């Protein structure tokens, strides 16, 4: 696969593709996706040597926790590669745990994602007024907390 084709498929510039290939990224699409997931996570990136933004007068705004959950949720929903899906689940669960309890009602996940996160549990769902299917809360089963990995429930 040509670097330009790989870059287009990954949404990267040709210079970024070239740089990642020199660092060991495979030159096939699936291998490159796996390599990027493993090697380019935010927690593993090296800190830059540039001055902190606060010294430049820029105030950093923390990301919205609900938007972060929605981003991981969409990645999981659209990803078909089992290894990548398995790598996304703990990130999604961590993002879900970071949402303050008072805002958890704002989190909307596709039923397929709920089903994946609640695998092994029996839950009820119902159609809402908007025609969408929703998980029915159960006082004995805090579904959000279970899906986020905060609590375990038999």
Question: For 102-144, what is each residue's pLDDT tens digit?
Answer: 988 888 888 888 888 888 777 777 777 777 777 766 666 688 8
Residues 123 and 72 in one domain: yes
Q: Which of 139, 34, 144, 27 is nearest to 96 (CA)?
A: 144
CA-to-CA distance for 121 and 125, rounded, in angstroms? 12
Cite the DSSP H helix spans in 3-149. Answer: 3-10, 14-22, 29-39, 65-78, 82-98, 111-117, 143-147
Q: Percent of the chain having pLDDT more than 90?
A: 10
**57 within some domain:** no
Q: pTM, whole model, 2 decimals?
A: 0.56
139/72 same-domain check: yes
Number of domains in the chain: 2
| Res 95: pLDDT | 93
**pLDDT over 50 (residue 47):** no
The boundaries of the domain holding residue 134 are 65-147
Q: How confident is the model at residue 42 (pLDDT cuts 50, 70, 90)?
A: very low
- Judge whether 60 lies within some domain: no
* pLDDT for 57 beyond 70: no
pLDDT at position 50 over 60: no
């Amino acid at each position: 696969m040509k670097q330009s084709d790989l870059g287009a498929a990954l949404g990267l510039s040709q210079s970024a593709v070239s740089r990642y290939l020199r660092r060991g990224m495979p030159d096939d699409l699936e291998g490159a996706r796996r390599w990027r997931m493993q090697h380019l996570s935010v927690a593993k990136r090296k800190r830059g040597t540039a001055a902190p933004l606060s010294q430049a007068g820029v105030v950093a705004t923390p990301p919205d926790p609900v938007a972060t959950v929605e981003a991981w949720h969409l990645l999981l929903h659209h990803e078909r590669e089992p290894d990548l899906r398995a790598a996304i689940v703990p990130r999604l669960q961590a993002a879900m745990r970071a949402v303050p309890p008072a805002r958890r009602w704002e989190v909307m996940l596709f039923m397929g994602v709920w089903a994946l996160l609640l695998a092994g549990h029996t839950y009820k769902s119902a159609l809402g007024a908007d025609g969408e299917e929703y998980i029915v809360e159960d006082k004995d089963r805090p579904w959000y907390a279970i899906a986020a990995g905060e609590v375990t429930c038999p």
